């Protein structure tokens, strides 16, 4: 009987990779292939990270006998270096390796200062998963290798009942940092805020919250901006259900889970064509697109969706189509099952 060890952050850890593995763990393939989640990282103190890693590696060694495949999720350089321990051990025992690349920027990973570790991982793995055609092409150019690169999208949540009264706010979900473009959203909203005093921005996520508050206050819109911190469970569910618009003004992404969440809840999305999003987005059809840093277009898109209820409804329908078709967990599960079968058998 086959067994697959899935290496990634712990289930308590915040972030997209955890969300992806958690979704996969609820599928039929997870049980079919006897998958075991091996946790290698937790977002706590340095001491806790070291202890957590050691425990994960010991668990990995315990489960290694009888393992058919090691499925390694990794992203930025520190993640890649952590996974090398598992990677090299699997190679030592001649166990097949599938690497699943979640990075958000070529500049910080395959085109950055740590190219050697990425080249080693991609060239020595038996197969690779990329999050989009953009990332597949980047990896293929980087490795110049004939090894198989599969595209596997991140899955959407499954939302049973989306009926909820909408409130007049634009939702942002993710870490507040420069890459996510939260400051651009605040600045762009300030250009139209006086026209729509009943509307506001809600930021769900940790990061540069105090810095964001200072910016909002300097633009005289602090009363129209709310920061709720990192959310999960019922609070996150309520925020997405009651939002009228979702916006993610990122400068770089793999395939953002926050946009997938917005589609799952049937929200109209304003975002940038970065990472894997250009594979799917059609401006005006299933989302509104602007180039990173283009504050004028971003403010125009927000104004358009605030005023145009018909367009909002159209984009809501398109979001649901994406969530229930291309990105449905069952569809992703079938694709992953095929990838596993091709490698193992």
Dump pLDDT digits (tens) for 157-207.
Answer: 888 777 777 999 999 999 999 999 999 999 999 999 999 999 999 999 999
Question: Do 261 and 172 contact (CB within 8 A), yes or no?
Answer: no
Q: Do 98 and 72 contact (CB within 8 A), yes or no?
A: yes
**pLDDT tens-digit map of 120-133:** 999 999 999 999 99
Mean pLDDT within 85-106: 96
Q: How far apart are CA 72 and CA 54, in angstroms?
A: 16
pLDDT for the residue numbered 291? 98
Q: What is the pLDDT of residue 146?
A: 61
Q: Average pLDDT, stretch 3-28? A: 94
Four-CA torsion 142, 97, 27, 54, nearest 10 degrees: -100
pLDDT in tens, 208-240: 999 999 999 999 999 999 999 999 899 999 999
* SS3 call for 285: coil
Name, in order, each residue with C-beta under 8 angstroms of 72's C-beta and a sequence gap of 6 or more. 7, 8, 83, 86, 87, 97, 98, 99, 100, 125
Structure tokens at 261: 């969440």
Task: Please give the domain boundaries of the chain with CATH numbers for all domains.
Answer: 4-155+328-344 (3.40.50.2000), 169-324 (3.40.50.2000)
Strand partners, 288: 270
For residue 5, pLDDT over 80 is answered with yes
Distance CA 126, CA 107 (A): 25
- Say how far apart CA 261 and CA 256 lie, in whole Å: 9
């Amino acid at each position: 009987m086959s067994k697959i060890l899935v290496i990634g952050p712990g289930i308590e850890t915040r972030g997209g990779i955890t969300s992806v593995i958690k979704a996969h763990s609820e599928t039929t393939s997870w049980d079919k292939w006897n998958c075991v989640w091996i946790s290698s990282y937790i977002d706590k103190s340095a001491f806790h990270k070291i202890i957590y890693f050691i425990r994960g590696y010991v668990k990995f060694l315990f489960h290694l006998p009888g393992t058919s495949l090691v499925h390694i999720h990794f992203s930025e350089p520190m993640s890649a270096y952590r996974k090398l321990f598992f990677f090299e051990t699997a190679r030592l025992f001649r166990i097949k390796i599938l690497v699943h690349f979640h990075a958000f920027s070529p500049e910080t990973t395959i085109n950055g200062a740590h190219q050697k570790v990425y080249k080693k991982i991609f060239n020595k793995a038996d197969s690779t998963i990329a999050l989009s055609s953009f990332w597949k092409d980047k990896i293929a150019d980087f490795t110049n290798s004939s090894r198989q690169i599969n595209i596997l999208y991140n899955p959407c949540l499954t939302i049973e009942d989306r009926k909820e009264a909408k409130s007049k706010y634009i939702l942002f979900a993710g870490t507040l940092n420069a890459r996510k473009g939260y400051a651009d959203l605040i600045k762009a909203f300030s250009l139209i805020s006086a026209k729509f005093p009943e509307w506001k921005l809600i930021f769900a996520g940790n990061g540069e919250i105090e810095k964001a508050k200072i910016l909002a206050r300097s633009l005289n819109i602090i009363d129209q901006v709310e920061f709720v911190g990192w959310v999960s469970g019922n609070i996150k569910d309520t925020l997405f259900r009651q939002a009228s618009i979702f916006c993610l003004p990122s400068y770089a992404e793999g395939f953002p889970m926050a946009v997938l969440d917005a589609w799952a809840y049937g929200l109209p999305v304003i975002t940038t064509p970065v990472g894997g999003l250009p594979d799917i987005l059609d401006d005006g059809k299933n989302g509104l697109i602007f180039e990173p840093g283009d504050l004028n277009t971003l403010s125009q898109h927000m104004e358009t969706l605030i005023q145009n209820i018909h367009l909002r409804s159209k984009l809501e329908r398109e979001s649901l189509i994406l969530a229930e078709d291309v990105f449905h967990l069952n569809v992703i599960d079938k694709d992953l099952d095929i990838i596993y079968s091709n490698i193992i058998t």
